[in-house]
A and B are shown apart, each in its own frame.
Chain A
Amino acid sequence: GAVVSQHPSWVICKSGTSVKIECRSLDFQATTMFWYRQFPKQSLMLMATSNEGSKATYEQGVEKDKFLINHASLTLSTLTVTSAHPEDSSFYICSARDPQQETQYFGPGTRLLVL
């Protein structure tokens, strides 16, 4: 299947700092990318939909000023967690939609721990 990468795979940061997570589709162009969050023993929750060259669409309850999303090219989307707090500690997962396959492929996830 298609490959989606995420970087970093894990990050530990101090409370109040910002963290950027990159998501790349390696072998296809993704007009749409998605960002999810998963807390322990829970299912994935969609945070936002990111379209190349336009503003992201956030799900209800997700603060757009806290979770900044940039989709600057057809193969790269970034999620920046601004002024991170311990409650933002979670597993962040991106996906990219391959329009030719009509399928979303997921990255391996980024584990964020805010101290």
Chain B
Amino acid sequence: DAKTTQPPSMDCAEGRAANLPCNHSTISGNEYVYWYRQIHSQGPQYIIHGLKNNETNEMASLIITEDRKSSTLILPHATLRDTAVYYCIAPFGNEKLTFGTGTRLTIIP
């Protein structure tokens, strides 16, 4: 897997956009960037993934820089239920996922 670097923790006010950064400077040309989150005591939940272009789904948006060395996950209107640990992963061969320590996002009322 390409090494990814995320801040250990972030706070965001409820109702505001949460922007979670991820650096993946060693990513190769065919490696996707995946985002998952894990709410306490549950299995990880898939959020979104992308290769080159920006992506958006019902949960979030993913902005990938042109050089693909970093990306940002955007939760447009954070709610208390978005409090979780968020993982950015760039798996080799797009198969095996290696989980780092992620970013612990706390949504503040």
Contacts and interface: CB of A to CB of B under 8 A. Distances in A.
Interface of A: 1, 4, 6, 32, 34, 36, 43-46, 49, 91, 93, 95, 97, 102-109, 111
A19 B44 CA distance: 23
B102 A102 contact: no
Interface in B63-109: 87, 94-102
B96 to A, nearest CB: 6
B45 interface: yes
B43 A109 contact: yes
Nearest to A43: B99
A32 B99 contact: no
Interface of B: 32, 34, 36, 38, 41-46, 49, 87, 94-102
A36 B99 CA distance: 10
12 contacts: A4-B43, A44-B38, A44-B99, A46-B97, A49-B95, A97-B95, A102-B94, A103-B34, A104-B34, A104-B46, A107-B43, A109-B42
Contacts of B95: 32, 49, 97
Q: Which of A6, A46, A97, A106 has the most CB of B within 10 A?
A: A106
Contact of A43 (B34, B45, B102): B102
